[in-house]
């Protein structure tokens, strides 16, 4: 018998993605998937700018996709989210969340009353006075805006989860190597580096595929649609030496520099961490030649995420639907994995 249905909901700049799953004796079964395109500008950098447009898109998605549930786990991705390793007092879970604001208030970029706080333990402290883990601090207003937009569509937000953690849950290889997972969306890129599932750094970079396309359009004085088509056709292939290829390389350089900076941070200071493998995810990661370029610049193994690696099976009607947005399905699948755990 399958367990209760869970739905992972990922609201991005270009589209909304939802994955419905249930848990059986053999593991997680994906029973339904859906995607709805977002109007331009409704979501920017992970932050909802037009909540009515988001609500309308969700109503349309649930109206056209036969989801069995209206309960969702909502993914959060925002450049203002702070994830920092630290130690806090080892107290019971309820007391920890009640006291967290007082323990970390001097570290926060925003006032405590404008911040949503959580703590992700990285160890079992036993009877030790402190516990090591990750402090997660997110702007409250942005999260509440997203929750209210979802609820106005007639849905119930059962849980809010960090999109980076969902991606880690879905697509990480647990082989002991230090691995970086980079998810490139339309306007943001998430970087999570982990060792056997334990996060080392988590970053949200305010750069993505849309910025690259706009830079190409401006450089070549063409429309955004033409620039997008050129980007997909030419990409970063090393055998291309045209003006178009140079424009694409220049437009992509800021994002690649940010990824490289994340690697440089890991090799500085007391903790010398060497990333052995980079896994790419998201629609922006499909840029031709990107994997080869990162492989050459960072001297690491580069591959693409398999968002279904921890899925037991797919319901027969989901095969075609999941293929439409499989490169970007990691977050929504990871959200269902967390909710069903």
Instruction: Evaluate whether 185 touches 330 at the Cβ level (below 8 Å).
Output: no
First to last CA, the chain: 16
Task: Check residue 274 and give its pLDDT.
Answer: 87
The phi and psi torsions of 33 (rounded to 5 degrees) equal -140, 155
Helix (H, G, I), strand (E, B) or coil at 295: helix
Q: Is 47 helix (H, G, I), strand (E, B) or coil?
A: strand
pLDDT in tens, 43-93: 988 899 999 999 999 999 999 998 999 999 999 988 888 888 888 888 887
Q: What is the per-residue pLDDT for 2?
A: 45
* Best CA proximity match to 167, nearest among 184, 188, 181, 155: 181
pLDDT score for 45: 83
Residues 155-189 have pLDDT tens digits of 999 999 999 999 999 889 888 889 999 999 888 89
Crossing angle between the packed helical segments 163-171 and 330-340, to the nearest 10 degrees: 90
Q: What is the DSSP string of 100-166?
A: HHHHHGGG-SS-GGGEEEEEEE-S--TT-SEEEEEEEEEEHHHHHHHHHHHHTTT-EEEEEEEHHHH
Measured distance CA(156)–CA(176) in Å, rounded: 37
Domains of the chain plus CATH, in order, are: 82-139 (3.30.1490.300)
So what's the pLDDT on residue 70? 95
Residue 1: its pLDDT value, please? 39
**Length of the chain, in residues:** 341
pLDDT score at 316: 62
> Which residues, given as ranges, of the chain have pLDDT below 50?
1-2
The model's pTM is 0.86
243-266 vs 209-220: helix axis angle to the nearest 10? Answer: 150
């Amino acid at each position: 018998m399958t367990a209760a249905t869970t739905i992972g909901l990922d609201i991005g700049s270009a589209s909304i993605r939802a994955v419905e799953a249930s848990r059986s004796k053999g593991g997680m079964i994906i029973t339904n998937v859906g995607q709805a395109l977002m109007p331009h500008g409704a979501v920017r950098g992970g932050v909802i700018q037009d909540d009515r447009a988001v609500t309308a898109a969700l109503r349309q998605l649930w109206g056209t996709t036969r989801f069995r549930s209206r309960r969702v786990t909502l993914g959060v991705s925002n450049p203002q989210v702070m994830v920092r390793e630290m130690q806090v007092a080892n107290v019971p879970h309820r007391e920890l969340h009640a006291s967290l604001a007082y323990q970390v208030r001097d570290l926060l970029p925003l006032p405590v009353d404008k911040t949503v706080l959580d703590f992700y333990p990285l160890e079992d402290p036993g009877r030790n006075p402190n516990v090591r883990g990750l402090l997660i601090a997110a702007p409250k207003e942005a999260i509440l805006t997203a929750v209210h937009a979802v609820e106005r569509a007639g849905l119930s937000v059962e849980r809010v989860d960090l999109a980076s953690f969902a991606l880690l849950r879905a697509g990480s290889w647990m082989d002991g190597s230090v691995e970086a997972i980079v998810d490139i969306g339309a306007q943001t890129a998430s970087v999570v580096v982990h060792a056997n599932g334990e996060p080392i750094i988590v970053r949200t970079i305010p750069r993505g595929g849309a910025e690259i396309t706009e830079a190409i359009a401006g450089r070549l004085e063409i429309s955004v649609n033409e620039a997008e088509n050129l980007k997909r056709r030419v990409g970063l292939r090393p055998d291309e030496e045209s003006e178009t290829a140079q424009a694409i390389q220049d437009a992509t350089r800021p994002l690649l520099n940010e990824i490289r900076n994340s690697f440089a941070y890991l090799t500085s200071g007391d903790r010398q961490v060497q990333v052995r493998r980079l896994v790419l995810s998201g629609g922006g990661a499909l840029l031709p030649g990107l994997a080869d370029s990162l492989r050459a610049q960072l001297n690491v193994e580069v591959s693409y995420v398999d968002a279904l690696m921890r899925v037991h099976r797919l319901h027969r009607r989901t095969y075609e639907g999941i293929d439409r947005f499989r490169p970007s399905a990691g977050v929504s699948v990871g959200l269902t994995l967390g909710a069903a755990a």
